């Protein structure tokens, strides 16, 4: 944790008072005192802090359990700014998606040195390796898989054009071809060729279909990015990659083998049956899911995750951010390339 000093604002001991002052104005309160602020684990791209605050006056009066979310020192280049993420969270909240309620956005760097936003804290855990193995967290696995399908369908009710989401670009070609061009563009900047990824991307280019209608794609809808407690789902997290895309992209990402945390027989994110997840989606959306398109995007998931794994590993290898976690993520590229090749035989 950085130490917040008067000459260099940051998050840490000493920054509670300036955050409290900010919250008085942002929440329309009479007074706010921050009782506790602890860094939460898990964010490679963003940092999250648990914030317990006593709020007097205004619509949020009372003891509030909040999360403050801000940028990590270095992040993956494709993620949105915190201001954009806040707009996405608000749009999702208004669409009836179960998300932590967004409360206030601060772009003034004088408070903690970086932009941040504050949302309500939801209960439970997001840890994928726990959710797939520990039955304490599941609620009911059939219900959870169906619920996650329904939540995704609600996200996909958000469609362009939207003034509040004007920062999201429309696809230049199709969502799939844009993704392929993006990964290739990054691979061109990498120091060594990656023929296995190139093979997979070529297959994806040859098998790309037209996208029938554009929806808001979460683009990181997977186990590890939603919170669950003993009773079930409490919130969909991590909106920083969302964009206009193909509805099958999120379904494929959620079901792909690389996001089952080793529980390969539970094809819906390692937590449930694919059929339950798809049924939840189809019931809520009234749209039929095309299994072939889902398979296509599951294949894309391996190309995408493989590219991201190299990027994460590079953050360590370059010396910018020495980290065992990032180093190990970098070495996941082999298993991702291997599965990608298995899915793309000539």
Partner 1 sequence: MTDRPDAKELIEIARATLVAELLPFLPPDKRVTGLMVASAMAIAARELSASLSPVPAVRTADIRGGKHDADKPLYEALLADARTRALISNPKDVEAE
Query: Would you tell me which residues interact with partner 1 (CB under 8 A)?
Result: 184, 187, 193, 195-196, 198-199, 201-202, 205-206, 262, 264, 324-325, 327-328, 331-332, 334-335, 337-338, 341-342, 345-346
- Judged by beta carbon, residue 93 or residue 184, the one nearer partner 1 is 184
Task: Supply the minimum distance, in Å, between the C-beta of residue 339 and partner 1.
Answer: 8
Place of tokens 């995750």: 305
Task: Supply the minimum distance, in Å, between the C-beta of residue 223 and partner 1.
Answer: 16
Do β-strands 46-56 and 62-71 pair in parallel, antiparallel, or remain unpaired?
Answer: antiparallel
Q: Pull the structure tokens for residue 66.
A: 């909040």
Task: Supply the minimum distance, in Å, between the C-beta of residue 336 and partner 1.
Answer: 9
Task: Write b or e for each residue in 69-106: b if 16 or more Cβ atoms lie within 10 A of its Cβ, otherwise e.
Answer: bbbbeebeeebbebebbbbbbbbbeeeebbbbebbbbb
**How many other β-carbons are positioned within 10 Å of the β-carbon of residue 47?**
22
- Judged by beta carbon, residue 64 or residue 223, the one nearer partner 1 is 223
Shortest CA distance to 48 belongs to which of 110, 102, 119? 119
In which order are the strands placed within the sheet that holds 102-106?
31-40, 46-56, 62-71, 116-120, 102-106
Identify the burial level of 125 via C-beta atoms within 10 angstroms of its C-beta, where 0-12 means exposed, 13-18 middle and 19 or more buried.
middle
- Judged by beta carbon, residue 54 or residue 198, the one nearer partner 1 is 198
Helix H or strand E segment including 298: helix 291-317
In the 8-state DSSP scheme, what is residue 113? S
Task: Supply the minimum distance, in Å, between the C-beta of residue 338 and partner 1.
Answer: 4
Task: Supply the minimum distance, in Å, between the C-beta of residue 199 and partner 1.
Answer: 6
- Judged by beta carbon, residue 167 or residue 338, the one nearer partner 1 is 338
Task: Supply the minimum distance, in Å, between the C-beta of residue 337 and partner 1.
Answer: 4
Residues near 214 by beta carbon (within 8 Å), at least 6 away in sequence: 159, 160, 170, 171, 175, 244, 245, 246
């Amino acid at each position: 944790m950085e130490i917040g000093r008067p000459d260099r604002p940051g998050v840490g001991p000493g920054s509670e008072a300036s955050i409290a002052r900010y919250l008085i104005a942002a929440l329309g309160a009479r007074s706010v005192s921050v009782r506790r602020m602890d860094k939460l684990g898990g964010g490679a791209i963003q940092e999250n802090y648990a914030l317990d605050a006593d709020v007097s006056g205004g619509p949020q009066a009372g003891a509030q359990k909040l999360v403050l979310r801000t940028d990590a020192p270095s992040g993956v280049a494709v993620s949105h700014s915190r201001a954009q993420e806040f707009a996405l969270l608000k749009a999702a909240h208004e669409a009836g998606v179960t998300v932590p309620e967004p409360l206030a956005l601060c772009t003034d760097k004088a408070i903690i040195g970086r932009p941040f936003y504050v949302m309500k804290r939801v209960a439970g855990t997001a840890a994928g390796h726990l959710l797939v193995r520990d039955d304490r967290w599941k609620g009911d696995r059939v219900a959870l898989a169906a619920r996650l399908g329904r939540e995704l369908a609600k996200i996909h009710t958000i469609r362009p054009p939207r003034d509040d989401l004007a920062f999201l670009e429309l696809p230049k070609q199709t969502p799939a071809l844009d993704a392929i061009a993006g990964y290739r563009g990054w691979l061109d900047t990498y120091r060594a060729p990656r023929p296995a990824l190139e093979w997979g991307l070529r297959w994806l280019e040859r098998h790309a279909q037209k996208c029938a209608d554009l929806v808001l794609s979460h683009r990181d809808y997977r186990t590890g990015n939603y919170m669950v407690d003993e009773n079930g789902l409490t919130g969909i997290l991590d909106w920083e990659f969302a964009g206009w895309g193909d509805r099958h992209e999120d379904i494929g990402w959620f079901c792909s083998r690389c996001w089952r945390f080793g529980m390969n027989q539970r094809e819906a994110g390692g937590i449930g049956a694919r059929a339950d997840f798809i049924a939840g989606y189809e019931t809520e959306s009234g749209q039929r899911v095309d299994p072939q398109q889902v398979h296509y995007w599951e294949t894309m998931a391996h190309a995408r995750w493989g590219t991201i794994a190299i990027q994460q590993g590079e953050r360590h290898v370059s010396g910018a951010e020495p980290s065992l976690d990032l180093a190990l993520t970098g070495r996941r590229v082999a298993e991702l390339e291997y599965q990608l090749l298995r899915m793309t035989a000539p």
